[in-house]
């Protein structure tokens, strides 16, 4: 390269070299012409003549060379050289000072780059650069890979590619799936995406990107996998059978169905791989133009020409209307199957919670208002009466209590219970329902919007831990919820991080049982009694105190305690705590004995004052 520089300098005049140098730095013909007091056309002619001289020199690049600006002392010379190469070859910079000069056609360069780009999109993220380059056959492709990584702004750490700034987020989430080669939930992919890119992305953004990607299948709830991997295990015959049977079943039904129902029907006719789920069947059918996809599992035929489909609430309402008695969710599911629908339990439950047209009459029984002779006027009257009642209470009140009150006072409403009231009031903006049991005026719900608020209020108001039975009784007195069971309270407290249960006492999470000494003593009574008795036994006796023939048990006990206390004598702080326990449990004899073995020289002033008070009381 340095010889070529010498040839260039010897071939060009100073003016020609200067113009090429300035052009290599991006200066315009006009700015150079102004400085040199010549015309713009004259500058162009000098540049053109200089290039012809240089290009006539006997130099060529075999396939590629790598130029490093840092190896040249004279950067003006390097700039001219680089400018020359750019006129004759493909030149790409991957760093500020590193340049690749490639002696190939633009067509070949583009073709190789496209091939490598396809390779990157198949390899997944993260990926080792060394692993990638091992897949390439020659050094030229390895150089072009470096160029491509620079163009894609690859984020590289420890020779591993983590992320491509220039690739779309949709491509990145697919590359993560390609790396792990297993079905993955969108939340898991979102976490990996954030770690690789260092950028925040919500799990719902990732879910949306995955749903739009035609190279992926939704295979389970929120879980996606590569279509090509699925198709390795599903033969074309199986896919054809899935579409064919689904078409025939829908054709007979003549109306929308869902892939849960279709899959069960297909399994009756043909043995299918276990990995085919209603989600995967939906993904497969959506690709066939004969099928139309609805929400979740819904599917129907394009030939049905449906403008407006029946929603779930309408389907369920029709079933309840035709029934002479209230139905459970399981019974409703069976009747839905009879009309070609298989709606999940949780979805039906969501419909019930949202709908104002369905009444819950027992724990798992539902009906319609007209079946209970609940007209709009009666429902309005019930709402007004409930509001009148809760107006008198600042605390949430039990729906059981209100239903009993209305049933006794108004014989026409003797059928009312907590569940029916909940169904009537759940979408009423004037009151707030606290998990189906309690009701409070909406403007007071800020203070009490959950059981957590209620139990937290009771404990804070009490100012100290409560036995679980006492907490339950206080709750009942405040809410009139006399049907709330202790098992329900246990279950609630154990899953809520606001509370903890220790030795039968309920505490707020920030409380410690040790801070409430009487509760700690009560909870650990046996522990304290044994510890103090062992220590005093060891201190008050010696081995000589016992008859070797008659008191072998006491001798063995003493030896064990001697071994224990010789290794670690209880601290003075621990003895003070024992003393407080003895005072609490009213044991003056043990108090007098323990006082003899407390070293006051090791006590704080506060503990010394406490000892003095105890001595005055018990001496």
Q: Answer for the pair 286, 243: CB distance below 8 angstroms, yes or no.
A: no
Tokens 């006719």 appear where? 269
At residue 220, what are phi and psi to the nearest 5 degrees?
-160, -175
Q: Looking at per-residue confidence, does 490 or 282 come out higher?
A: 282
> Of the ranges 85-99, 145-159, 326-340, 584-598, which one carries the lowest mean pLDDT score?
85-99
Residue 602 structure tokens: 């090791």
What tens digit of pLDDT does each residue of 403-424 get? 999 999 998 899 999 999 999 9
pLDDT beyond 60 at 1: no
Residue 474 pLDDT level (bands cut at 50, 70, 90): very high
**pLDDT at residue 6, rounded to an integer:** 67
Rounded-to-integer distance, Cα 40 and Cα 16, Å: 14
What tens digit of pLDDT does each residue of 227-261 get? 999 988 888 999 999 999 999 999 999 889 999 99
**pLDDT at residue 15, rounded to an integer:** 86
Q: Is the peptide bond before 240 cis (omega within 30 degrees of 0)?
A: no
CA distances in angstroms from 337 to 33, 257, 261, 327, 364, listed in the order given: 86, 9, 7, 15, 19
Task: From 136, 145, 138, select the one nearest 100 (Cα to Cα).
Answer: 145
How many CB atoms neighbour CB 555 within 10 A? 16
- Which domains, and CATH codes, for the chain? 2-152 (no CATH), 169-230 (1.10.10), 524-618 (no CATH)
Residue 448 pLDDT level (bands cut at 50, 70, 90): confident
Query: pTM for the full model?
Result: 0.55
Rounded-to-integer distance, Cα 30 and Cα 549, Å: 122
At residue 417, what are phi and psi to the nearest 5 degrees?
-145, 180
pLDDT beyond 60 at 425: yes
pLDDT beyond 70 at 288: yes
Q: Answer for the pair 163, 201: CB distance below 8 angstroms, yes or no.
A: no
pLDDT beyond 70 at 60: no
Rounded-to-integer distance, Cα 475 and Cα 492, Å: 13
What radius of gyration do the chain's Cα atoms show? 42
Q: Answer for the pair 505, 426: CB distance below 8 angstroms, yes or no.
A: no
Within the chain, how many helices (H) and strands (E) appear?
30, 20
Rounded-to-integer distance, Cα 172 and Cα 125, Å: 8
Mean pLDDT of 193-215: 92
Q: Answer for the pair 91, 76: CB distance below 8 angstroms, yes or no.
A: no
Q: What is the mean pLDDT of the chain?
A: 88
| DSSP designation for 446 | T
The number of CA neighbours under 13 Å toward the Cβ of 522 is 12
Task: From 618, 613, 610, 611, select the one nearest 587 (Cα to Cα).
Answer: 618
User: Helix 75-88 vs helix 40-55: angle between axes, to the nearest 10 degrees?
Assistant: 80
Residue 56 pLDDT level (bands cut at 50, 70, 90): low
Task: From 293, 287, 284, 337, select the one nearest 315 (Cα to Cα).
Answer: 337
Rounded-to-integer distance, Cα 64 and Cα 101, Å: 5
Task: From 391, 393, 388, 418, select the one nearest 478 (Cα to Cα).
Answer: 393
What tens digit of pLDDT does each residue of 566-600 get? 888 899 988 988 888 888 888 888 988 898 899 88
> Of the ranges 38-52, 126-140, 492-506, which one carries the lowest mean pLDDT score?
492-506
**pLDDT at residue 58, rounded to an integer:** 60
């Amino acid at each position: 390269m340095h010889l070529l520089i010498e040839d260039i300098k010897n071939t060009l005049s100073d003016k020609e070299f200067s113009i090429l140098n300035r052009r290599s730095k991006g200066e315009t013909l006009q700015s150079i012409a102004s400085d040199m007091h010549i015309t713009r056309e004259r500058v162009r002619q000098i540049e053109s003549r200089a290039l012809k001289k240089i290009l006539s020199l006997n130099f060529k690049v075999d396939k590629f060379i790598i130029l490093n600006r840092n190896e040249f002392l004279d950067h003006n010379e390097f700039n001219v050289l680089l400018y020359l190469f750019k006129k004759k070859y493909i030149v790409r910079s991957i760093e500020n000072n590193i340049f690749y000069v490639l002696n190939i056609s633009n067509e070949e360069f583009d073709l190789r780059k496209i091939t490598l780009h396809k390779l990157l999109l198949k390899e997944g993220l993260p990926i080792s650069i060394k692993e990638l380059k091992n897949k390439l056959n020659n050094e030229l492709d390895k150089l072009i890979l470096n160029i491509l990584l620079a163009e894609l702004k690859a984020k590289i750490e420890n020779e591993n590619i983590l992320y491509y700034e220039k690739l779309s987020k949709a491509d990145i989430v697919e590359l993560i799936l390609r790396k792990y080669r297993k079905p993955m939930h969108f939340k898991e992919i979102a976490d990996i995406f954030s770690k690789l890119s260092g950028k925040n992305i919500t799990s719902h953004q990732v879910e949306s990107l995955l749903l739009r990607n035609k190279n992926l299948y939704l295979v389970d709830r929120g879980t996606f996998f590569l279509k090509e991997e699925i198709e390795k295990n599903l033969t074309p015959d199986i896919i054809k059978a899935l579409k064919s049977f689904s078409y025939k079943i829908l054709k007979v039904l003549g109306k929308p169905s869902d892939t849960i129902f279709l899959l069960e029907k297909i399994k009756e006719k043909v043995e299918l791989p276990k990995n085919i789920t209603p989600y995967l069947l939906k993904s497969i059918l959506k690709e066939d133009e004969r099928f139309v996809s609805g929400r979740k599992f819904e599917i129907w035929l394009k030939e049905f020409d449906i403008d407006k489909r029946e929603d779930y609430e309408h389907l369920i309402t029709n079933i309840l209307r035709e029934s002479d008695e209230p139905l459970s969710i399981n019974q409703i599911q069976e009747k839905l199957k009879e009309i070609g629908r298989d709606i999940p339990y949780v979805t039906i439950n969501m419909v019930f919670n949202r709908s104002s047209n369905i009444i819950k009459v027992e724990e798992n029984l539902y009906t319609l208002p007209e079946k209970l002779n609940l007209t709009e006027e009666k429902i309005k009257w019930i709402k007004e009466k409930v509001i009148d009642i809760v107006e008198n209470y600042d605390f949430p009140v039990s729906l059981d209590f209100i239903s009993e009150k209305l049933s006794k006072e108004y014989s026409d409403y003797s059928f009312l219970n907590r569940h029916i009231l909940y169904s009537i009031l759940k979408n009423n903006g004037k009151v707030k329902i606290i998990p189906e049991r309690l009701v409070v005026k909406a403007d007071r719900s800020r203070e009490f919007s959950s059981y957590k608020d209620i139990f937290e209020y009771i404990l804070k108001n009490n100012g100290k831990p409560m036995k679980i039975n006492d907490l339950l009784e206080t709750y009942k007195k405040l809410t009139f919820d006399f049907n709330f069971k202790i098992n329900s309270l246990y279950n609630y407290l154990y899953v809520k991080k606001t509370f903890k249960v220790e030795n039968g006492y309920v505490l707020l999470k920030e409380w410690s049982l040790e801070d409430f000494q009487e509760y700690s003593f009560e909870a650990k009574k046996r522990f304290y009694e044994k510890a103090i008795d062992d220590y005093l036994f060891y201190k008050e006796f010696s081995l000589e105190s016992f008859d070797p023939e008659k008191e072998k048990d006491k001798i063995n006990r003493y030896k064990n305690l001697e071994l224990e206390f010789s290794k670690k004598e209880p601290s003075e702080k621990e003895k003070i705590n024992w003393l407080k326990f003895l005072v609490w449990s009213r044991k003056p004899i043990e108090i007098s004995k323990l006082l003899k073995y407390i070293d006051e020289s090791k006590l704080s002033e506060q503990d010394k004052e406490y000892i003095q008070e105890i001595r005055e009381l018990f001496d």
